[in-house]
Amino acid sequence: MTRRLASVLLALAAAGCAVPGAGPAPATAPRTHDPRVGLRPGFRDAGQAAWNLRLVANVPKPEGFYDPSDPGAFGYANSDLAFQGNYLFQGNYHGFLIYDISNPAQPRLRTAFVCPGGQGDLSVWGTLLFMSVEEARGRVDCGTQGVQDSVSPERFRGVRIFDISDLERPRQVAAVQTCRGSHTHTLVPDPRDPNVMYVYNSGTSYVRSPRELPGCSARRPEEDPNTSLFRIEVIRVPLDAPERATIVNAPRIFADSAGNIAGLWRGGALGPGAQRTSPTQACHDITAYPAFGLAAGACSGNGLLLDIRDPANPVRVDAVSDPNFAYWHSATFSNDAAKVVFSDEWGGGTQPRCRATDPIRWGGDAIFRRNGNRLQVAGYFKMPAAQTELENCVAHNGSLIPVPGRDVMVQAWYQGGVSVVDFTNPERPVEIAYFDRGPLGSTPMLGGYWSVYWYNGYIYGSEIARGLDVFELVPSRYLSANEIAAAKQARLERLNVQSQPRYTWPATAVVVRAYLDQLRRNRGLPAAEIDAIDAALARAETRTGAARRVELAALARRVAALAERAGDPARVRAVVAVVERMAADAALAAR
Amino acid sequence: MRTSVLRWAWAPAALALGACAPVASSTRAAAPPATPAPVRPAHPADAAFVQHMIVHHAQALVMAELVPRRTSRPELRALAERITISQKDEIATMARWLARRGLPFPDTSVARHPEHHGEHAAMPGMLSGAELERLATLQGEAFDRAFLTAMIRHHEGALEMVAQLSAQPGALQEAEIFTIASEIEADQRAEIERMRALLKRLGGAAPAPTPHHHPGGSEEHR
């Protein structure tokens, strides 16, 4: 046993097995004492460990979307998710699946659409579905026979657009070819023209021949200033005429002030002992946050902050590095955009990078504070349970869980499972729930969660090999029933995680009680005061009309008077604001 | 998932490159430990690419082996270490791909004397046995520059192999081989940029885009 491991075990023993929230010392290595360690392997019968999360449904992939002889076959991997209304759209390297989730505990497959080409990341907007395609087998006509000719007008690498007015019969209405295909993409609505959608395209694969798509160039920038490397593409889509979608810009967002288009990280380690970071030659995920006119670009060698108020012309306003990052992969803003969680896909997602020997700060999340146009690193998080050699594991895609007053995110870790992290205090992120299965089998296979997102009250996981999983949060000392209920009240019409929505909460007693639970937890107000507020609120709830308004207004004034000498005045003011809105609603209702 | 590949450690125990000793059993190394992997058909061009790339990568390992005793530069040692790790990882992935398709792991001893094996000598960027021997006689600055120049050429050869593969009818149609080729392309490209920067710092002229030395190879640079 190494000295380091011994000291960690001692520390764990002393901390009563590192209960999150109880103030454990920051982990220095993956935990080897954890219910997630040593789970039985299996495709359909793997061992499971769950904490504060309940698996409510697992829907295996439909016929034709898996290889019976090889659960980990790349060609049928499930990929990213998008949501609209009561429908969930699941990407797959072989096409896409549409599920009816009216009853989240029983997703019903509505459509299985075959259209190979990987990765198949999806976004949805009204009657349009957008899909990323990068592979050489991709065909304009969605055929499964691949493209035999090395240069062919039949090959498709780029962004497909489907009309899904008829969910059973998606119809491809546009197919925008790009030089490196489309690995991922991001929808950015035009703030001035509701009829225009911009799509940021990230191509990360090799550049195709200019004989197949004129203008494509894989040359180094020194040899060809018009190289297809070192750029993203901006596609403009007229929503009433999507067939006219076209590339309108290929911004050089990595350029330096001297105009060198390869102006950011050139590759290598930031210092002795540091991780080796990829050169900044393409973006992976770009997460737009239209409500703030910002985007966070996870761009291979750097994390970028972009000003996207003019979506066709994104402007880089900051670029950060991190000595722990190998490959900047994805980004999530906190709801107030004051923090950005960047994640690192060390090993590309197909390798085991959560072993007991892997550094706890490598292959995880780095949480940045944003101050205007400046990003500053604050802390790190990695799913803490040691995984085996058989499990591909590293940070992957996640989304916010809209708990008012807190920054909570659910995230996929491939075969490392699902982890829910609270990063309200970015210096000390804390895991508050998880779910994990054992390896897919007794040999290494590609599997685990590609993305795990919260949508209108449930958590949906796209399992690469095992299908679609649905989870519910279980109340715990880290997340109360009121906080979960309040999160469920922040509803969305649709969710494309890379086009981040801003959550708002209705003025309800549940939201107030969520804040009260938080004040109880962090001793932001004396318990007796909290009990009194809760009782007054309960009383007001039984009233109607003017009486209700009067009681709520009085409660708001009473709580406001407490704010100044409270331990957590900001949260007390949040309570006041909600109660005031409730009073206003009561006044409207009384009229 | 980023374009990347499965490269777990169990695959090729046979990567140790004995000096010209033929690798004992060509497939032995890649046999999975437990359940037999299903055999899936491979396109001949994809299969040839993988087998050739393994030999090509194996020569990078031979070259990297020379570094620790011939340089005094820590950054060159670090680079050699990086190349060793990445090429071994990729070889492991490719070995696994071959094993799943019931295809043999190639004879990597070829990497030391490509000219003794006609067809392998046609791999872009490969050094001949004589060139390898010459490199091994150098020390210090002269070695550093010669090593970087040769390795840049070697890596550019790998880029060309990917380009040649994509130019072959019927190739690159399988999702996993597409991922493998994309990953190799990205890795080699990144390492080439690192080496060019290092060579520039050493005062060596970065080599012009490589006209490959082998007869019959394409001269087109990508």
**Domain check: are A480 and A532 in the same one?**
no
CA distance A546 to A543: 8
**A44 CB burial (10 A radius; 0-12, 13-18, 19+):** exposed
Q: What is the ipTM of this complex?
A: 0.80
Domain boundary among A466, A495, A524: A495
Q: Considering only residues A4 and A425, tell me which one the structure prediction assigns the higher pLDDT.
A: A425
Cβ atoms within 10 Å of B53's Cβ, excluding its own: 23
**Domain check: are A389 and A261 in the same one?**
yes
pLDDT tens digits for range A137-168: 999 999 999 999 999 999 999 999 999 999 99
Q: Is the pLDDT of residue B38 over 70?
A: no
B145 within domain boundaries: yes
Per-residue pLDDT, A386: 97
Beta carbons of B209 and A223 less than 8 Å apart: yes
pLDDT tens digits for range A422-451: 999 999 999 999 999 999 999 889 999 999
Domain boundary among A495, A527, A554: A495
Q: Is A38 left (phi over 0), alpha (psi -120 to 50) or beta?
A: left
A136 to chain B, closest Cα gap in Å: 6
Q: Are B200 and B73 in contact (CB under 8 A)?
A: no
A502 within domain boundaries: no
A258 within domain boundaries: yes
CATH code of the domain containing A123: 2.130.10.10
Per-residue pLDDT, A95: 98
Average pLDDT over residues A241-245: 98
CATH code of the domain containing B78: 1.20.1260.10
Cα three-residue angle B47-A350-A98, rounded to 5 degrees: 100
Entry pTM? 0.88
H or E element that contains A538: helix A527-542
Q: What band does B123 get if pLDDT is binned at 50, 70 and 90? A: confident
Q: Is the pLDDT of residue B216 over 50?
A: no
Q: Which of A136, A150, A267 sits opposite B193 (nearest CB)?
A: A267
Helices (H), B33-139: 44-65, 74-100, 118-121, 129-137
Number of CB pairs < 8 Å for A and B?
Answer: 139
B71 within domain boundaries: yes
B3 within domain boundaries: no
A446 to chain B, closest Cα gap in Å: 8
Per-residue pLDDT, B209: 53
Beta carbons of A206 and B162 less than 8 Å apart: yes
The per-residue pLDDT of chain B, averaged, comes to 77
Percent above pLDDT 90 for chain A: 90
Helix (H, G, I), strand (E, B) or coil at A269: strand
Q: What band does B33 get if pLDDT is binned at 50, 70 and 90? A: very low
Domain boundary among A473, A495, A517: A495
Segments forming the whole domain that contains residue A388: 3-18+27-495
Q: Is the pLDDT of residue B31 over 90?
A: no
**Domain check: are A419 and A539 in the same one?**
no
B59 within domain boundaries: yes
B219 within domain boundaries: no
Per-residue pLDDT, A24: 45
B159 within domain boundaries: yes
Domain count, chain B: 1
**Domain check: are A465 and A575 in the same one?**
no
Sequence-distant (≥ 6) Cβ neighbours of residue A397 within 8 angstroms: A80, A285, A330, A411, A412, A450, A451, A452, A453, A497
A93 within domain boundaries: yes
B21 to chain A, closest Cα gap in Å: 30
DSSP state of A19: -
CA distance A285 to A279: 15
Per-residue pLDDT, B109: 86
Token pair, residue A212, equals 């197949």
Average pLDDT over residues A224-250: 97
pLDDT tens digits for range B154-200: 999 999 999 999 989 999 999 999 999 998 998 899 899 889 989 99
A500 within domain boundaries: no
Q: Which of residues 163-202 of A touch B (CB under 8 A)?
A: 183
Q: Are B207 and B153 in contact (CB under 8 A)?
A: yes
**Domain check: are A474 and A517 in the same one?**
no
Per-residue pLDDT, A12: 35
Q: Considering only residues A380 and B213, tell me which one the structure prediction assigns the higher pLDDT.
A: A380
Q: Which of residues 119-178 of B touch A (CB under 8 A)?
A: 162-163, 166-176, 178
The per-residue pLDDT of chain A, averaged, comes to 94
- Residues in chain A with CB shorter than 8 Å from the CB of B183 are 348
**Domain check: are A279 and A365 in the same one?**
yes
Q: What band does A590 get if pLDDT is binned at 50, 70 and 90? A: confident
pLDDT tens digits for range B137-151: 999 999 999 999 999
**Domain check: are A351 and A215 in the same one?**
yes
Beta carbons of B1 and A79 less than 8 Å apart: yes
CA distance A206 to B159: 10
Domain count, chain A: 2
A501 within domain boundaries: no
Residue A277: closest C-alpha in chain B: B190
**Domain check: are A471 and A554 in the same one?**
no
B189 within domain boundaries: yes
Per-residue pLDDT, B114: 80
Q: Are B157 and B125 in contact (CB under 8 A)?
A: yes
Per-residue pLDDT, A131: 98
Residue B185: closest C-alpha in chain A: A206
Cβ atoms within 10 Å of A29's Cβ, excluding its own: 18
A503 within domain boundaries: no
Segments forming the whole domain that contains residue B159: 42-201
Percent above pLDDT 70 for chain A: 95
A504 within domain boundaries: no
Per-residue pLDDT, B106: 93
B75 within domain boundaries: yes
Token pair, residue B70, equals 């011939």
Token pair, residue A307, equals 């000003």
Strands A430-437 and A449-455: unpaired
Per-residue pLDDT, B207: 61
**Domain check: are A458 and A540 in the same one?**
no
